[in-house]
Amino acid sequence: MDRRQALTFLGAAVACPTCAAIANASEDKGGQSWGYEGEYGPERWGAVSPANITCSIGRQQSPIDLRNPIPAELSDIQVHFRPSKLEVLNNGHTIEVVVPKGSFMVLDGMRYELLQFHFHHPSEHLVEGSSFPMEAHFVHKSAKGDLAVLGAFIAAGEEHPMLKRVWDRMPMEGGKTVRDATIVRPSDLLPDDHEHFRYAGSLTTPPCSEIVSWIVFNEPIEASSAQIQKFAGLFPLNARPVQPMNRRFILGSF
Ligand SMILES: [Zn+2]
């Protein structure tokens, strides 16, 4: 599977009329299913389609338990996100906000365009064995096709005004998209403190391609318990379990 396909998959702008009917399992373009529990669960992703074999045999899989980072002099992440009108879809696996061209970040001198951001419940990454209620992923792609994902943990606390605008309009049904004049500012979902972990990993959904530079912020943002529960009502579990580190290391900017 090439990177364009992988991206399409990750973006999962997959027309999926059966998503609502089969709840946590849905179909990719090859007609194969994956979900987060049972026979379509993460343990079986590599088996349900040959295209997903990396999910089983990959050695740089995500997410991971973030612990014992090696302190490193890492360049700051330069984020240049623009406000835009809301386009939000329920792809049967998550709620995803599609970002128009023009938002990007610069990482180690390389420009990565922001394509979309989406959410997991509970968090996919752990920090020293502990999860957060949710995690937001900002998916970026460079001109060369490399992916970089910014991860922001979401802790229970104050209501988040931008999440409210998204949550008020998000489709309850898989395969549906809502467009609205409401303005969203993706940067509002990033923590003020840019201390972060970095490591080399993969997509956390099939086909689990090992093409992702992960940057996960140490400081969580906050959402209210009601906001977290509203998402959990749609997606009670959409987090892949943590994967073996193998011969990798984690860098920390702190
Ligand atoms: Zn994700």
Summarize pLDDT for 69-123 with one digit per residue, the tens.
Answer: 999 999 889 999 999 999 999 999 999 999 999 999 999 999 999 999 999 999 9
Q: pLDDT-derived band of residue 205, with 50, 70 and 90 as boundaries? A: very high
Residue whose entry in the numeric block shows the structure tokens 């096709």: 145
**Distance (Å) from CA 212 to ligand 1 centroid:** 11
User: How far from chain centre, in Å, is Cα 78?
Assistant: 19
Q: Is the pLDDT of residue 47 over 90?
A: yes
* Span from the CA of 62 to the centroid of ligand 1 (angstroms): 10
Residue-wise pLDDT for 127-165, tens only, equals 999 999 999 999 999 999 999 999 999 999 999 999 999
- For CA atoms 189, 205, 120, 151, the dihedral sign is negative
pLDDT of residue 118: 98
User: How does 37-52 read in b/e, with b if 16+ C-beta sit within 10 Å?
Assistant: eeebbbebbbebbebb
Q: What is the predicted pLDDT for the residue at 27?
A: 44
Q: Please tell me the predicted confidence (pLDDT) of residue 76.
A: 87
Q: Is the pLDDT of residue 236 over 70?
A: yes
H/E element holding 229?
helix 225-234
Q: Give the type of residue at 189.
A: L
Between CA 196 and CA 215 the distance in angstroms is 6
The residue extents of the domains of the chain are 3-252
Rounded to 5 degrees, φ, ψ at 215 are -125, 115
> Ligand 1: distance of its center to the CA of 136 in Å?
7
pLDDT (0 to 100) of residue 33: 85
pLDDT exceeds cutoff 80 at 2: no
What is the band of 223 on the pLDDT scale with cuts at 50, 70, 90? very high
Q: Domain 3-252 is of which CATH architecture?
A: Roll (3.10)
* pLDDT at residue number 30: 39
- Mean per-residue pLDDT over the chain, rounded: 89
> Any idea which residues carry the catalytic annotation?
93, 118, 120, 124, 137, 204
Position 28 scores a pLDDT of 47
Q: Is the pLDDT of residue 62 over 70?
A: yes
- What is the Å distance from ligand 1's center to 108 Cα? 22
Residue 17: is its pLDDT beyond 90? no
